[in-house]
Amino acid sequence: MIKWVVCKAKAITSPPFFLLWDGRRIMRTLIIGDVHGCRDELENLVEQFGFVYGKDRLFQVGDMITRGPDTLGALELARDLGIQHVLGNQEARLLRTLAIAPKLRKKKDCEFLSRMQGYEKEIAQHVRDWPVWMEEDDFFIVHAGFQPGILHPTQMSPHVMVHVRTWDGQGVDMNHAYNPAWYEFGAWEKTVVFGHWADRGLYLADGFRGLDTGCVYGGALTGWCPEEDNIYQVPALKNYVENQSAEYQQLEILLG
C-alpha cells in the first residue's frame, strides 16, 4: 500500500557540503522537473543546488520546450550544464508535427511550431535522441509514468510512458478524473522519478518522486537529489501562462 505524503519543500538556503573522511567530495545528482522554457528558473535552481561542473550530474524529466518564455535559452543552458533529458510529450509532439508534410499541417500544428522561435528544425534535431526512459543505480526517470503491471520499461509502451496520468487498464484514456493514477498500482524495483502532472504538484511517496510543480503556470521549479533525498525548489519569476489547459480545468470540475 502506498502512503501518500504531499510535502512542503524543505527550505534549503545554502548547499550542504558532502565530504568524505579524506576530504574528497561525493558526486551529487539533481533530477529537475518540467521546465517549459523557464530558463531563468532553471539557472536559479541549479545555483541553489550548488551544482559543481564536472563533479555533479543533472537530469531532467522532459517537457523542456514550449509554453514558457525562452525555449531556446533553456535548451542552451541545459546543454552548457550537461543536463541529460528524457523525452516529454512536448518534444514528442514537435517530432510528430515536423513529420507531417508542410502542406498537410493544420492550424494548430502551425501555431505549435511558431512557439519554437523559428528554430523548430534545430530543436527537433537536438531532442531527437532523448530516450523515453533512463535507468540509473537507484532510480528510473520517465516523463509521465510507467505502465502498471509491467515489471521493466523495456516491455512498456513508449506512448504510455510519455503521456500517462491515469490508468484505465489498457492505456486508451490516460487522463480521466474517475480512473486511478498510474502510480496507485504499486511500486517498481527502483524509485520512478517523473513529471507531467502539474495540477497534482509535488508527490513524494515510497518508490515515486513526482516533480512537476507548474513553474510555467507561476508555481515553482523543483528538483530532487537522490543522494540526500532532498527537494530543491525555486519559485517561478512570473506567471507565464494564465491557467492550465482546458483539460486540467475540466478535470477540476469533474472532481468537484
Provide the binding-site residues for Mn ion, judged by CB under 5 A: 63, 88-89, 196
- In the complex, the smallest distance separating the C-beta of residue 2 from Mn ion, rounded to whole angstroms, is 22
Nearer to Mn ion, 39 or 163 (CB): 163
Q: What is the largest CA-CA distance in the chain?
A: 64
Nearer to Mn ion, 28 or 36 (CB): 36
CB-nearest residue to Mn ion: 196
- In the complex, the smallest distance separating the C-beta of residue 156 from Mn ion, rounded to whole angstroms, is 17
Helices and strands per DSSP (H, E), number in the chain: 7, 11
In this structure, which long-range contacts are made by residues 164-169, counting pairs with CB atoms below 8 Å and at least 24 apart in sequence? 165/196, 165/197
Q: Is 206 exposed, middle or buried (0-12, 13-18, 19+ CB in 10 A)?
A: exposed
- In the complex, the smallest distance separating the C-beta of residue 197 from Mn ion, rounded to whole angstroms, is 8
- In the complex, the smallest distance separating the C-beta of residue 250 from Mn ion, rounded to whole angstroms, is 17
Nearer to Mn ion, 51 or 140 (CB): 140
Question: In this structure, what C-alpha cell is assigned to residue 130?
Answer: 532523448
Cβ atoms of 239 and 68 within 8 Å: the answer is no
Residues 6+ apart with CB under 8 A from 166: 173, 174, 175, 176, 177, 179, 180, 181, 182
Estimate to the nearest angstrom the gap between the alpha carbon of 73 and the chain centroid.
Answer: 17
Question: In this structure, what C-alpha cell is assigned to residue 169?
Answer: 487498464
Pairwise CA distance, residues 111 & 101, whole Å? 15
Cβ atoms of 161 and 188 within 8 Å: the answer is no
Nearer to Mn ion, 40 or 63 (CB): 63
Nearer to Mn ion, 122 or 247 (CB): 247
- In the complex, the smallest distance separating the C-beta of residue 56 from Mn ion, rounded to whole angstroms, is 25
Nearer to Mn ion, 71 or 89 (CB): 89
- In the complex, the smallest distance separating the C-beta of residue 214 from Mn ion, rounded to whole angstroms, is 11
What φ, ψ does residue 84 adopt, rounded to 5°? -100, 130
